Amino acid sequence: MIQLDDNVLKECIREAIKEEFQLIIADIRKTTLTSEKQVSEKLLTKKEMADELDISLVSLTEWMKQGRVPYMRLGKRIYFKKQEVINSMANFHHKKNR
């Protein structure tokens, strides 16, 4: 049987707990940053999205009908997530050029 000094045992436990807390804190920070990014992504109106893409509202409406740009309906209003639209447009462009 191994005999441990009380101070050595306390230090081992303290270090183990410290390492576990550091892992938990790192995970919380990662989750918080991801959540903040999702929350901070502003929804754009149809007009704002058209301005971002530098196209007319008519063109944006046509692209919506064609499924080229993702959008969401909240009540009677339509909103866009800029990054989703950009990704969709990039994918649509790549598929078209194949």
Domain encompassing residue 78: 43-96
State how many domains the chain has: 2
Residue pLDDT tens, the chain, 98 long:
677 788 888 999 999 999 998 988 888 877 766 655 655 578 999 999 999 999 999 999 999 999 999 999 999 999 999 989 988 888 776 555 55
Q: Are residues 55 and 36 part of one domain? A: no
Pair 52, 82: CB distance under 8 Å = yes
Conformation bin of residue 61: beta by default, left when phi > 0, alpha when psi is -120 to 50: alpha
Quote the CA–CA distance of 37 and 34 in Å, as a whole number.
Answer: 5
Q: Are residues 60 and 30 part of one domain? A: no
Q: Are residues 27 and 47 part of one domain? A: no
CATH code, domain with 70: 1.10.10.10
H or E stretch covering 15: helix 6-40
Q: Are residues 58 and 32 part of one domain? A: no
Q: Are residues 53 and 87 part of one domain? A: yes
